[in-house]
Amino acid sequence: MRSPAALDRADPLARFRAEFHLPPGKIYLDGNSLGLLSQRAETHLNRIVNEWRTLGIEGWTDANPPWVGLSESIAANLAPLVGALPAEVAVTGSTTGNLHQLLATFFTPDSPRNVILADELNFPSDIHALKSHLTQRGLDPAKHLRLVRSRDGLTLQIDDLAAAFTDDVQLAMFSAVQFKSGQLLDLAALTRAAHKRGVMIGFDCSHSIGAVPHELSNDGVDFAFWCSYKYLNAGPGAVGGIYLNQRHHARAPGLAGWWGVRRDQRFAMSLDHAPSPDASALQIGTPHLLSLAPLQGSLELFAEAGGIVPLRQKSLELTDYLMTLVESELTGFGFTLANPHLAHERGGHIALRHPEAWRICQALKIAGVVPDFRTPDLIRLAPAPLYTSFADCAAAIAKLREIMHAKTYEIFSETRAAVT
């Protein structure tokens, strides 16, 4: 195997690491929970702050570029990451808020189709949202929310999902990448299967956007949504996004607000809602400029890196490298790899399963490695292709080996916080 230094020297994307603020003395492998700040994101954030300071209200029209069109121009820059037309993307709201908007827009229960299909591995917040839409329409979630089971508690079988598209299902929603195991679903195949059975289908791309290419338009997906603070590195709670397939652009937004009004009529202040003829119809209120600005800088870096395809290539090389190191360095310590091994089935992180996962994560943090624990027994390691090096991966696994060898994790209390 080539040395990590040789791999880094051969990496065409290595120069982007210098664009980021890396936490001093740490190996950061938690970019799938919160991506790091880049200088570019910081510059754009500071620009908005300065414009606010000097222009006040006139920033909406006189800033460079004017704030008023910022969410639309950022949406156009983001569209290639998910394989969408610019008009099919809105950069707005939060992940869960956007799911609420999409359900308000797409969930139209009617006899006999009055079931929402999801899966038991889905992100809890998404399930909360699905249940609340059923309850709001007087439908009992116990009967009208159907969750496809996972056979191994970590992954989903495409056949199990496809078999669940029965005639009473109106809408299906899955995560493109499972947040625990990192399993990547085949969006094209699922969309075909859903549409064949007359089911609307949408995807949560929070764990895939910025790490995995999507072809939402080509795949014919009805809708999708995501956050921008993981692999997109746009900052804590950054503005999220929505994909709305163009065949749905005449659909009335379920939750209407003045930023969903056509741009040329938004400031006419009419009490009649004339929705935008595109995904921005799903915007509700004034854009959150301060948590939008960093995304603009971050997307510049994605464009300069050549887009999502070379980033995915590097991401796969990094996770491959990590898996190889786990196999060569950590045998006999009780770890199993819980993520799918095949490239087309895995997202941007690997997941190590160990009964002592929580205590091992505490020891890793003390050793200067930032991992991510997911209850009850998973350690997630996410190398971010823009800023993680092969040397980082090698050093992290070496630290993990030391911890296991010396059993230093045993100094931590076995009782783990209920909420982590």
Ligand X SMILES: *Cc1c(COP(=O)(O)O)cnc(C)c1O
Exposed/middle/buried for residue 124 (C-beta within 10 Å: 0-12, 13-18, 19+) = exposed
CB nearer ligand X, residue 95 or residue 114: 95
Exposed/middle/buried for residue 206 (C-beta within 10 Å: 0-12, 13-18, 19+) = buried
Figure out which of the listed residues 92, 96, 245, 389 binds ligand X, where binding follows CB under 6 A.
96
Figure out which of the listed residues 95, 105, 114, 245 binds ligand X, where binding follows CB under 6 A.
95
175 binds ligand X (CB under 6 A): yes
- The first and second tokens of residue 135, run together, are 């309850």
Q: Determine the 3-state secondary structure of 70 from DSSP.
A: helix
At position 268, the amino acid (one-letter code) is A
CB nearer ligand X, residue 173 or residue 305: 173
Figure out which of the listed residues 94, 155, 245, 283 binds ligand X, where binding follows CB under 6 A.
94
Figure out which of the listed residues 19, 51, 88, 126 binds ligand X, where binding follows CB under 6 A.
126
The residue range among 76-84, 119-127, 357-365, 374-382 that interacts with ligand X, by the rule CB under 6 A, is: 119-127
125 binds ligand X (CB under 6 A): yes
Figure out which of the listed residues 123, 203, 259, 321 binds ligand X, where binding follows CB under 6 A.
123
Nearest to 288 by CA among 237, 334, 351: 237
At position 94, the amino acid (one-letter code) is S
At position 398, the amino acid (one-letter code) is A
- Label each residue of 97-120 as H, E or C: HHHHHHHHHHCCCECCECEEEEEC
Smallest separation, CB 51 to ligand X (Å): 26
227 binds ligand X (CB under 6 A): yes
Runs of H (alpha helix) within 197-339: 216-219, 289-304, 308-329
Binding to ligand X (CB under 6 A) within 186-225 occurs at: 204, 206-207
Please check whether residue 244 is in contact with residue 88, taking contact to mean a CB–CB distance below 8 angstroms.
Answer: yes
Smallest separation, CB 175 to ligand X (Å): 5
CB nearer ligand X, residue 96 or residue 389: 96
The residue range among 88-96, 109-117, 151-159, 369-377 that interacts with ligand X, by the rule CB under 6 A, is: 88-96
Smallest separation, CB 296 to ligand X (Å): 19
- The first and second tokens of residue 117, run together, are 């299909």
The residue range among 121-129, 187-195, 328-336, 348-356 that interacts with ligand X, by the rule CB under 6 A, is: 121-129
How crowded is residue 188: how many other Cβ atoms within 10 Å of its Cβ?
15
Alpha-carbon gap, residue 325 to 40, rounded angstroms: 33
CB nearer ligand X, residue 312 or residue 349: 349
User: Which residues are tagged catalytic?
Assistant: 123, 204, 229-230, 380
CB nearer ligand X, residue 175 or residue 191: 175
At position 193, the amino acid (one-letter code) is A
Report the half-sphere exposure of 301 (CA within 13 A, side-chain side).
Answer: 31
Alpha-carbon gap, residue 329 to 167, rounded angstroms: 50
Smallest separation, CB 116 to ligand X (Å): 16
43 binds ligand X (CB under 6 A): no
Q: How many residues of this chain bind ligand X (CB under 6 A)? A: 12
Q: How large is the C-alpha radius of gyration of the chain?
A: 22
Smallest separation, CB 227 to ligand X (Å): 4
Smallest separation, CB 36 to ligand X (Å): 16
At position 82, the amino acid (one-letter code) is V
Binding to ligand X (CB under 6 A) within 378-397 occurs at: none
179 binds ligand X (CB under 6 A): yes
How crowded is residue 15: how many other Cβ atoms within 10 Å of its Cβ?
10
- The first and second tokens of residue 274, run together, are 């004339």
The residue range among 12-20, 72-80, 90-98, 259-267 that interacts with ligand X, by the rule CB under 6 A, is: 90-98
296 binds ligand X (CB under 6 A): no
Alpha-carbon gap, residue 317 to 336, rounded angstroms: 20
Smallest separation, CB 94 to ligand X (Å): 4
Q: Which residues bind ligand X (CB under 6 A)?
A: 94-96, 123, 125-126, 175, 179, 204, 206-207, 227
